[in-house]
Amino acid sequence: MKASLQRTIWICRVTFLEAVRQRFFAFLLILGAAMVLSSVSFRVLDFGHGELKFIADFGFGGMFLFGSVLAVVMTAQLFFSEMDNRTALTLLAKPLSRTEFLLGKFFGTWAVLGVFVLILSILLGLVMWGREQELLAAAEQSGKIPAQFSAGGLLSFALLQWFRLGVVITIVLAVCAAARTFLFAVVMGAMAVVAGQLQWIAQDAVLKPTQHGLYSTFLWVTSRLIPNLQQFNIGDALVLESASVPSGAVAMAVGSGGFYMVAFLVLAALIFRRREI
């Protein structure tokens, strides 16, 4: 057990170092940081919402957009680089199981996404805190109290975002375990992200009465197989209106994310076990 953990950690460390050295990671990190820092400048495009809410939504949108691209592309790239360079064959010829290989890839990539989310969350927190101070100073003259920024809520959202991207990574790993080409894995991974974002539509359809039993069964099954990525999208409520967030909502989302990560990792391991390298 200890030797297995050490091998997994070694793969995780190698994957992490390989990922952070890639120009693609640095490029998306810079783009994400630029989007977050420029959110104050784009507040003139807001229509009817508070400034802090617009800044929060703008920053959260950029974080998920670039984070999803990074999760899909980097996961597939790190996996297929081992296959194309035949290094996976060398690694798996040693006392390294395929499950340990996949777990190391997952935790290494997830750690990189954790760094990505942490950096952008810190930048967004600084932007929102700075703008809040300006609004509070202006409020003393106008008498209108702006929404209060919650650093704890931002930390909770960063955790949710990290788990959401972790779910994306495991889905892509499951696709990579069965796919033969990098392009196919990226396309299918991107489609899975879109399906996860729109999964709530299927859930709403399930809740509506229908005379077609087969259709309802299909929607019920697909709404459970595909994770609902929208359940992690409560950033503005956490950051600005933490009192309005239902009790246990964060824990429920984290638990759901953990369940899907384990489920897709098990699926990836079962598929990869039968794959010819």
- Which of the pair, 259 or 38, is modelled with greater confidence? 259
Report how many domains make up the chain.
1
The pLDDT tens digits for 93-112 are 778 888 999 999 999 999 99
- Which of the pair, 166 or 273, is modelled with greater confidence? 166
The predicted pLDDT at position 168 comes to: 95
- Which of the pair, 62 or 209, is modelled with greater confidence? 62
SS (H, E, C) the chain: CHHHHHHHHHHHHHHHHHHHCCHHHHHHHHHHHHHHHCCCHHHHHCCCCCHHHHHHHHHHHHHHHHHHHHHHHHHHHHHHHHHHCCHHHHHHHCCCCHHHHHHHHHHHHHHHHHHHHHHHHHHHHHHHHHHHHHHHHHHHHHCCCCCCCCHHHHHHHHHHHHHHHHHHHHHHHHHHHHCCCHHHHHHHHHHHHHHHHCHHHHHHHHHCCCCCHHHHHHHHHHHHHCCCHHHHCCHHHHHHCHHHCCCCHHHHHHHHHHHHHHHHHHHHHHHHHCCCC
What value does the mean pLDDT take over residues 230-235? 80
The Cα-based distances of 5 to 33, 89, 97, 114 in angstroms read 35, 20, 11, 21
228 neighbors 196 (Cβ within 8 angstroms): yes
Q: Side chain identity at 73, as an amino acid letter? A: V
Per-residue pLDDT at 207 exceeds 70: no
The predicted pLDDT at position 211 comes to: 54
Nearest residue to 135 (alpha-carbon basis) of 234, 267, 40: 40
The pLDDT tens digits for 250-268 are 888 899 999 999 999 999 9
Domain, as residue range, for 261: 2-273
Confidence of residue 7 (pLDDT cuts 50, 70, 90): confident
Confidence of residue 48 (pLDDT cuts 50, 70, 90): very low
Per-residue pLDDT at 201 exceeds 70: no
Task: Enter the pTM of the model.
Answer: 0.88
The pLDDT tens digits for 162-200 are 999 999 999 999 999 999 899 999 999 999 998 888 876
Per-residue pLDDT at 224 exceeds 90: no
The predicted pLDDT at position 190 comes to: 93
Mean pLDDT, the chain, whole residue set:
83
